[in-house]
Amino acid sequence: MSIDGTFTLESALQRFLARCPDLQRQPHFASLSQKGERLEEEELVNAVAGVFVDPKYTIAAMGCFRAIARKIVDRVVELLEKVGGLGADCGGESMEVDVDECVEGVVEACVRHGQGLRLHELACLAFCRALDMAPFLLEKLLNYFKFAPPPFQRLLATSFCITKNGTQLLGPVRTSFRFLILEAQVFRKLWDWSPFMDLVQQCMNVNPGNSPEYLENILDIRWCGIQILSVLFKLGDKATVNFGLDAEQSLLCLLRWEEFCQDTSIEKAGFYIGTNGKETSNHVDCTTTLNQECALQSFGLLTSVYSQDEKSDPFVLTSALKKSFEIALLAVGKKWPVLFYGPTGAGKTALINKLAQLSGNQVLSIHMDEQMDEKTLIGSYVCAERPGEFRWQPGSLTQALLSGMWVVFEDIDKAPSDVQSILLPLLEGSNSFFTGRGEVINVSERFRLFATVSTLKNDIASNSEGLWVALLFDVNS
């Protein structure tokens, strides 16, 4: 159960079956739905994991069971590891499994027909969708690729030919590009992307006499390949033109790509809201509001369940403060830095501490003044135990970046300009940070940056350059 009691296994299963009526006819799910409060988490996880890679059920499963998504993905990875033969098809192209007409289950059908490559591609599609909806699943998903090939394994086959395999290749190429843009820093290093250079070249040599549908697929493959190379080699906006695609072709490919990625958009929007009202089989009569717990879970920030004593703290969200809290919550989920403006005592620091408490994060407050220097933040060499030797002592900001703490710069407007300039890479969303001795450190995924400015009037200072998400506090709210 969640911290506010909104998630139960029974209600989540009923919602899932309502969205996927085909599963109601499966004896296993039918028996689970009859258990009511006797339903156990382990058996539900096993059941959902069995249908997770089916494209018809992945998004609904993530929407209904996000509170136990980590366990479901773990179980899916375990099931696929036992299958074996991923990345190879023994049944031939003519025996390709049609998932839309599959009755026995996608995993079972693929295994029975020797379609290990097809199963792998379906798993990759399911995982990239899950990662899009829940970025905190990255570590779990990477466990799959410890034993499975890249999603573009079909492209690596020795017998691959674009004229024969173009139709089957579009899905894997799109899935590969989706993984790359979701976590570029991770996946660009995980796989060898060099085959896409040859792929783009092959697509340019396709006979224009083929059917319009086939040529459209080849055009989309070519466009995705160009975008992949652009991300890998950090090419400019003119890369598409340089590869021979005109503006009209590129626009059409872009529109089809955005349509492909819209499958999770509605579900992700639902993660941020909660419903107040009654749901019937025909319609939902309710109002929607931002659900703080749903948003925390979606961002992967909700890590623990709190006791009733922890929930009954004196922090009270007034109507005005609630709006600031929700904006800050969304900004934190996007990893945007947040700047709090308001009079002393308006609740700026208290709001940050409350958000950190809900998400299980530690807060490091650094009070800024004219005496603050970059050595305090980044680090410096100090005397070692042996005379004449020195060792590097990381500063408070460097340690926070490594450990994933939340840093709050109190009264940041009082800091010297050279100290403020140190923060520019972090404000611009950089995943790496340079220390004073030339060392590059990777910024932890859990790190967040906040700052406060105490004002006499409820206005935003003119020196804000738009890099911060600025929140205005009213002491009377």
φ and ψ at residue 276, rounded to 5 degrees? -120, 110
Mean pLDDT on 360-388:
86
Does 221 score more than 70 pLDDT? yes
- According to DSSP, the residues that pair with 472 across neighbouring strands are 341
Q: Which of 26-40, 142-156, 157-171, 348-362 has the lowest mean pLDDT?
A: 157-171
Nearest to 291 by CA among 278, 303, 273, 315: 273
Give the DSSP per-residue string, 73-110. HHHHHHHHHHH--TT-BSS-GGG---TTS--S-HHHHH
Mean pLDDT, the chain, rounded, equals 79
- Cα 195 to Cα 182: distance, rounded to the nearest angstrom: 20
Find out whether 315 and 349 touch, Cβ atoms under 8 Å: no
Does 293 score more than 60 pLDDT? no
Sign, CA torsion 373/374/378/383: negative
Geometric angle at alpha carbon 230, from 331 and 248, rounded to 5°:
95
Where are the domain boundaries for CATH 3.40.50.300 in the chain?
293-472
| pTM of this structure | 0.66
Q: Of the segments 12-26, 203-217, 343-357, 427-441, which one has the largest average pLDDT value? A: 12-26
Mean pLDDT on 364-391:
85
pLDDT in tens, 100-117: 555 457 788 888 878 888
Q: Which has more pLDDT, 125 or 111?
A: 125
Q: Which has more pLDDT, 162 or 72?
A: 72
Q: Which of 7-11, 41-45, 226-230 has the lowest mean pLDDT?
A: 7-11
Q: What is the pLDDT of residue 89?
A: 64
Find out whether 118 and 110 touch, Cβ atoms under 8 Å: yes
φ and ψ at residue 138, rounded to 5 degrees? -55, -50
Alpha helices, DSSP H, located in 265-416 = 265-271, 292-298, 308-311, 319-333, 348-359, 374-378, 396-403
Query: With b meaning 16 or more CB within 10 Å and e meaning fewer, what string describes 148-187?
Result: bbbbbbbbeeeeeebeebbeebbbbbbbbbbbbeebeeeb
Going by their DSSP bridges, the two strands 379-383 and 390-394 should be labelled as: antiparallel
Find out whether 336 and 469 touch, Cβ atoms under 8 Å: yes
Going by their DSSP bridges, the two strands 432-434 and 440-442 should be labelled as: antiparallel
Nearest to 124 by CA among 23, 55, 65: 55
Mean pLDDT on 266-294:
53
Confidence of residue 444 (pLDDT cuts 50, 70, 90): confident
Does 295 score more than 90 pLDDT? no
- Cα 101 to Cα 79: distance, rounded to the nearest angstrom: 22
What superfamily in CATH does domain 293-472 come from? P-loop containing nucleotide triphosphate hydrolases (3.40.50.300)
Per 3-state DSSP, what percentage of the chain is helix, strand, and coil (rounded to 5)?
Answer: 55, 10, 35
Q: What is the pLDDT of residue 307?
A: 36
- Cα 340 to Cα 445: distance, rounded to the nearest angstrom: 22
Geometric angle at alpha carbon 179, from 173 and 184, rounded to 5°:
120
Does 442 score more than 60 pLDDT? yes
Six token digits for residue 164:
């024969």
pLDDT in tens, 322-344: 777 778 887 887 788 888 888 88
Mean pLDDT on 182-190:
90
Beta strand residue intervals within 13-79, DSSP E: none
Q: What percent of the chain has pLDDT over 70?
A: 76
